[in-house]
Amino acid sequence: MKNISFLPFILLLLLVTTASAQTAKGGCTTATVTANPPYSQNLYFSYVSWGDCGSVEEPCCRVIFSGSPVAPRYYLERKNSNGTWTQVAGPQASPVLSDPGVLNPHGVYRVRINVPVPDYNVCEGGEPLRCYNPNGQFVGYWGKWGPNEYTNEVLLGKTVASDNSYFFVDGGGGDANPFAFDYLEIAQINTSACKNYDQWWVAIIEQGGQSRYASNGWEFSPVGNGGIFNLTNLWKDGHSNWEFDPLMTYTVQFVVENHACLNGQGWNVNNQNYFICPFGSGCRFDEGVGLEAAISPNPTSNTLRLTNFTPTAAQEYQLTITDLSGRTVKSVQSWVNEDMDVSDLPQGMYILNLTSNGTPLFSDQFIVNH
């Protein structure tokens, strides 16, 4: 063995990859690591053929007879419904991973990465053990596996209906109805359940009146602001004088897609309606003389009935349904709490009134949502 000179430990710091953070991208069937954590590309493990240098002057070194520096190893993990993670693939050297045995994967995944790090516990003084080739040339250091590091969450597979979920957010009006806003109140939706989706579309359609329409077009990054999307800002974008008019119904059309695995035919659409109530009303209505009833289901698309209400034989009940202009659209003179068919009503908000011999008992609003 020729005389082996000591190389400064600073070489270890110079041989580091340029990656600054571990990232991955999804697809239809595979997750691909696009950037590794920083690591030294000149570290050797016991996987190589090696021997001691055999030099008294250089006791903390090894000769690498064959083998290559160690590269990162990868594991694929799938997210469970309770938020925990299950390893489904790995370890492997390839940065392209798939869920074995799953022909059409669908869900949230991440990649766990181990990169090699210097082993400082081999030599006296905490220096890493130096490695040389048989010609005495310095080639790197002895290493070990570092701690687990994780990529961002990615999506595999096409979206399905259950992936598209959002709800309306009160904009300060204190609304009694989750599907309604006061006039001039800020209208918003919470799309945080769709935070992993990187292609989406929002449109607002006015039902009746001027039949106006607004849309942001396709967006190719997750919804920002914690998933809160401001419908009022979208409505006014390019139309500063537009308002959501009172006593009008609007439809939100929300679409989410996995940009790396599009559905191709047909969008994954979630349409929901909201109503604009008169200014300052809080969308609250007179609830009669204390009857603790409720309209169910609400919203509805077919039938409804009153819950927490049992008719008495000594009374006769009258039920009427009016639209928000006060026009009666349905009525029953001798009502006994049977299911009422409202499937023929246009979608929108209505008011149900229950009376007995002219005495108001109950009044509340409901939504027909086809």
Buried b / exposed e along 319-342 (16+ C-beta atoms within 10 A): bbbbebeeeeeeeeeebeeeebeb
Start-to-end Cα distance in the chain: 84
pLDDT value, residue 282: 56
Put simply, whether the predicted model's pTM sits higher than 0.85 gets the answer no
Contact (Cβ atoms closer than 8 angstroms) between residue 304 and residue 354: no
Among 212, 204, 207, 218, which Cα is nearest to 241's? 212
- Written as six digits, the tokens of 254 are 């929300």
Please state whether the peptide bond connecting residue 299 to the residue before it is cis, i.e. omega within 30 degrees of 0.
yes
Task: Write down the mean pLDDT value for the chain.
Answer: 83
pLDDT digits (tens, 9 = 90+) for 161-174: 888 999 999 877 56
Bridge partners (DSSP) of residue 258 are none
Q: What percent of the chain has pLDDT over 70?
A: 86
Q: What is the CA radius of gyration of the chain?
A: 33
What is the CA angle 217-219-221, rounded to 5? 175
Phi, psi dihedral angles at 232 (to 5 degrees): -60, -45
- Closest among 236, 231, 155, 232 to 196, alpha carbons compared: 155
**What does 274-326 look like in DSSP terms, one character per residue?**
EEEEPTT-TT----TTS---EEESSSBSSEEEEES----TT---EEEEEETTS
Both tokens of 271, joined, read: 């349409």
Residue 350: both structure tokens together: 């209505």
Q: Do 37 and 145 meet the contact criterion of CB atoms below 8 Å apart?
A: no
**At the fourth CATH level, which superfamily is domain 294-368?**
Macroglobulin (MG2) domain (2.60.40.1930)
Strand partners of residue 109: 78, 154
Would you put residue 329 in left (φ > 0), alpha (ψ -120 to 50) or beta? alpha
Q: How many CA atoms lie within 13 A of 173 on its CB side?
A: 27
- Count Cα atoms within 13 angstroms, Cβ side, for 105: 25
281: pLDDT strictly greater than 90: no
Segments making up each domain of the chain, as ranges: 10-156, 161-277, 294-368
For 84, the token pair is 């925990």
Distance in angstroms (rounded) separating the CA atoms of residues 315 and 189: 44
Backbone angles phi, psi at 235, to 5 degrees: -65, -35
The per-residue pLDDT for range 256-268, each reduced to its tens digit, is 998 889 887 777 8
Specify the pLDDT at position 19: 42
- Report pLDDT digits (tens) over 283-329: 655 444 445 788 999 999 999 988 888 777 777 888 888 887 667 88
Which of residues 191 and 61 earns the better pLDDT score? 191
In CATH, 161-277 is 2.60.40: yes
* Residue the block writes with tokens 């250091």: 141
For 127, which DSSP code? P
Which pLDDT belongs to residue 12?
A: 44
